[in-house]
Structure 1
Amino acid sequence: MPILPESIEVLADIKRKKVLSEFKNIFNCYYLANNEEDLSNSFIKFWSLNERVFKKIYGKKNDNILMNNIEKLLKFYSNNKFFKYKLNMIRQKRNKLVHENISEITQEDRNFVKHISDLLIYFLMEFDDKIKSFSDYGLILDNYGENNIAHKINLMEYACELKR
């Protein structure tokens, strides 16, 4: 996903200064993580970006809450059951890196965390035109996972209203 040149154009359309400032910070962190040469550092920077954005959305920062929110995001775009398994493995590697200073990070691990960041940024940009605060994104993610088809239709109608 080509984040920078095309995505910066989206920023010009955001009228709310607080949301605009957050998007600039997100793109800056993404750029730094993407251009980091060290694999482990790049991995941690992408992970931190995801943590920071989910904290903005939900206001809570707990490892289990973060994992649940990442799972919701992955389900929003794909129902691939492998992602949940991979996410748990990534979490273990992240904890070893941060708490024990043991790096088992592979290029695939770094790319998976980058993929989560890409999806997160795409999700933010998809609903950016009517979102008044980052907590509004949480409403969309929290209500998406319902199996009730009528509920999903209502959610999509709500999303369309946000885009107007």
Structure 2
Amino acid sequence: MIIVDDIQYTTMKLNLLKQTIIKSFEVIDNHKDPRYYYETIWDILNQKSNIKEKFTNATLSKQIFLNHISTILRSIKLNGESNILDSLLIELNKLYNDYKELDKIQINVIIYTNIPVKLKSSDKFIETLKYFNLDIFEFSSYNFESEADLDDEIKYKFNCTKFLMFKYSNTARDYEFLKSKALNNIYSFFGYLTYIHRFNYNTEKWHINEITLDHRITDLQINALIGTNSNFEIYEIDRQYDIISTAIEMDESKKIDFNNHMPCEYTLLKNVFELNKDSLYSELKEYFSLYYISSFENVIENSFMKFWSLSERIIKDIHGDMKDKKLVKYMMEILKLRNYPDKIIQRVNFLKYKRNNLVHENIHGEITQSDQAIVKIMAESLILLLICYFNEVNSIENYKNFYDL
């Protein structure tokens, strides 16, 4: 059941939710776009109820809420405005229960990448795929039998890639939910590949025209996600034809070769995977996903900010929330544990000021390539700590035993 957290549900939030619903009535009556109000209703419920947890557990996405909220609000308005919030919860629980009664079905998400086909013959590569619930997918596995009258040109448009395709497969009640899971897994996989090949890698680059300088650390990318049922028949094939037709052209990845820069085997994730600690492994995969997103940024400032945020998140997941001064101490400590020289460690305090200037004062131009390199190795060192002691902890907080001031 979707319930409100009475302890946290302040009068202010209650009134805000009620007023937002009333304003959405006015917008609907005037035939205007109410989507901003719908988003606000979701955000308040997300903060002050268990709706996101219940939807996730039922393999439902936020899109289900957005698809139905207009109907729900019209129903509430017809019943009068005296008990708006109670009526909202009643209707949401009806929606939730209706979807929960549906059987989960197997859904496949086909992921188009720019990874060279030659890696299909690499045992190391194939083994790594399983850590992220991914398999190599061949175009011949698509099933077009139910689309017999479909133009061959449309069918073969889905074979437009020269590179590897992957399949993420699972059961769910909602395709959008599983598509989001697939995206997280491929980004996590890309993050892991980037991590092992660019660990401790110098990110500084030079070009005669600095305006055209590409600061990305990785060139791994995807350009389409295509959904199928368990028989590999493509959902809404006309719509997904539009998706594949508008996919950007990609160059083959040049930065993946399994020439490992790690201080350990390429199978460093194998023991973590086999220990079967689901919640910890999910955290680690999330960090790899964020590592990839940080590495794919072309703009130095954006990459710097995302590596900093990744490091901050890991530290706070381990030690809890803290002020900047203590956060910097933990950042410096992880670099000391990895035996980085003082000339690097003493930079962290200055990086904090640059980060704050950018975020709070919108001061640009201060962050350099060497600044990006330092926050990158800081994030890498934190992830390495998690991997090294994975078999000795049961929760993310347990890492305090190995990394504390």
TM-score range, shorter chain: 0.7 to 0.9
Show the counterpart of 1:39. 300
Which residue of the partner structure matches residue 109 of structure 1?
A: 371
- 1-side partners of 2:399 and 2:315: how far apart? 9
Question: Which residue of 345, 357, 363 corresponds with 1:84?
Answer: 345
Alignment partners' CA distance in 1, 2:304 and 2:275: 29
Alpha-carbon offset, residue 65 of structure 1: 1.6
The Cα shift of 1:96 comes to 0.8
CA distance 1:2–1:10, change in 2 (3 Å): farther
* Corresponding pairs, count: 143
Q: Which residue does 1:20 correspond to in 2?
A: 281
Between Structure 1 and Structure 2, the one with more helix by share is 1
What TM-score, normalized by structure 2, do the two folds share? 0.33
* Preserved contact between residue 294 and residue 307 of structure 2 (Cα < 8 Å): yes
Matched-pair contact (CA < 8 Å) for 1:11–1:23: no
Counterpart check, 1:125 vs 2:317: no
Identity %: 33
Matching residue's letter, 2:390:
D
- Structure 2's unaligned 5+ residue stretches are 1-192, 197-257, 259-265
Deviates more, 1:5-14 or 1:131-140: 5-14
Q: Which has the larger radius of gyration?
A: 2
Instruction: Return the TM-score normalized by structure 1.
Output: 0.79
Note the C-alpha offset of 1:79: 5.8
- Where do 5+ consecutive residues of structure 1 fail to align? 144-164
Of stretches 5-14 and 19-28 in structure 1, the one that deviates more from structure 2 is 5-14
Tell me, what secondary structure is at the counterpart of 2:321? Answer: coil
Aligned: 1:3 with 2:3: no
CA distance in 2, matches of 1:62, 1:87: 15
> What is the Cα-based RMSD across aligned positions, in Å?
2.1
Could you tell me which residue of structure 2 aligns to residue 75 of structure 1?
336
Pick 1 or 2: higher relative contact order, CA cutoff 8 A, min separation 6.
1
Q: Against the structure 1 CA distance between its residues 48 and 13, is the aligned structure 2 distance closer, same or farther, given a 3 Å change threshold?
A: same
1:117 aligned partner, one-letter code: A
Aligned 8 A contact 1:14 1:20 in 2:
no
User: How far is 1:130 from its partner?
Assistant: 2.3
- Are the counterparts in 2 of residues 11 and 20 from structure 1 also a CA contact under 8 Å? yes
Q: 1:79 to 1:25 in 2, by over 3 A?
A: closer
In the TM superposition, what is the alpha-carbon distance from 1:12 to its structure 2 partner?
A: 2.2
Is it true that 1:142 corresponds to 2:404 in the alignment? yes
